[in-house]
Amino acid sequence: MRISSHQMALNFLSDLERNNTLIAKVSREVSTGKQILSPSDDPAGATIAMGLRREQAATEAWRGTINDSLAWLNTTDDALGQALGIVQRARELATQGGNGTLSSDARGLIANEVRGLAAQFVEVGNSSLAGRFIFSGTATETQPFDPVAEVANLPINTGLINREVSQGNVISVNITADRLQGPGGPTPDVFTLFSSLATALDTGDFDGIETALDDLQLHQDNITDLRGEGASKINALEASLTRFNARDIATTQQLSLTEDVDMAEAITELKMREAVLRASMAVGARVIQPSLVDFIS
């Protein structure tokens, strides 16, 4: 086969262009750390990477919802703990006031403290998180309890704040004001109970004090049950968050294996390609430089 000088030059330029293209590709991989920068680089790998990124986005959304729900539930638990402390204090005062040896003046002082517990309960009932009242049902911008009248604002919003914390898993994260102020049924709400207890203390109505003690126990049990309900949700959410964190780590690792470049290998290849380029340039200078004129004497 006859090889002309023109053919040699074309072959050299073609090889040179191919080597420059490879150097550009490896240089881009080294500078970006990615081996897939467009679907054409690896169609199968790009499809897998896009799927992994969608899963990452979904996981991040679930985690955001869970963290917000945990903040709400933990704030609610703190408030319930304070409410429980107020009811427990009322029981202590009722027990103390039921002592028949106390003077009427002493019971009057206890009655005044019981009345003061109502204001404390209102303050706890109006607890908020980031400007949202946690016991207001779905009307989170409205105080559930009136600090002046020391009663629940009517009508009580009993709407539940539902959150989808994973695919198909929806939970309610709020406790409404009606459940906070009492177990319902024949048991009076906490404000009515404090008022009747204070009246019984003032008048020396020991039967009334005893009845209030029984009702206060029901309120303690109610708030304890509410805390238990919230605690079970907190535990479930924390378990879900742990699973999502583990999934995110696994997804990130798989995404790295799919699209990240092996830097040591890429740098080695880049140096090799650069050496080949220098060698080919040197060879090209020798091959292309001679012409027929160089051999005419």
CA–CA separation, 175 and 61 (whole Å)? 24
Q: Does 229 map to a domain?
A: yes
- Calculate the alpha carbon distances from 127 to 41, 83, 176, 240, 297 in Å: 56, 11, 12, 27, 105
pLDDT score, position 18: 75
pLDDT score, position 205: 95
CATH code assigned at 236: 1.20.1330.10
pLDDT score, position 116: 96
pTM of the model: 0.76
Q: Does 5 map to a domain?
A: no
Q: What is the residue range of 205's domain?
A: 52-255
Q: Does 4 map to a domain?
A: no
Beta bridge partner(s), residue 172: 162
CA–CA separation, 174 and 180 (whole Å)? 11
User: Kind and range of the H or E element at 151?
Assistant: strand 151-152
Q: Does 205 map to a domain?
A: yes
Q: Does 36 map to a domain?
A: no
- Calculate the alpha carbon distances from 158 to 23, 32, 50, 139 in Å: 67, 54, 43, 9
Q: Does 267 map to a domain?
A: no
Specify the number of domains making up the chain.
1
pLDDT digits (tens), the chain, 297 positions: 555 666 666 766 676 677 767 676 766 766 666 766 666 666 777 778 778 778 888 888 889 999 999 999 999 999 999 999 999 999 999 999 999 889 999 999 999 999 999 999 999 999 999 999 999 999 999 999 999 999 999 999 999 999 998 888 999 999 999 999 999 999 999 999 999 999 999 999 999 999 999 999 999 999 999 999 999 999 999 999 999 888 888 887 877 767 667 667 667 776 777 777 677 777 666 666 655 555 565
Q: Whose CA is closest to 163, among 154, 172, 155?
A: 172
pLDDT score, position 32: 66
The residue written with tokens 């106390």 in the block is 102
Q: Does 74 map to a domain?
A: yes
Half-sphere exposure of 126 (CA within 13 A, CB side): 17
Q: Does 264 map to a domain?
A: no
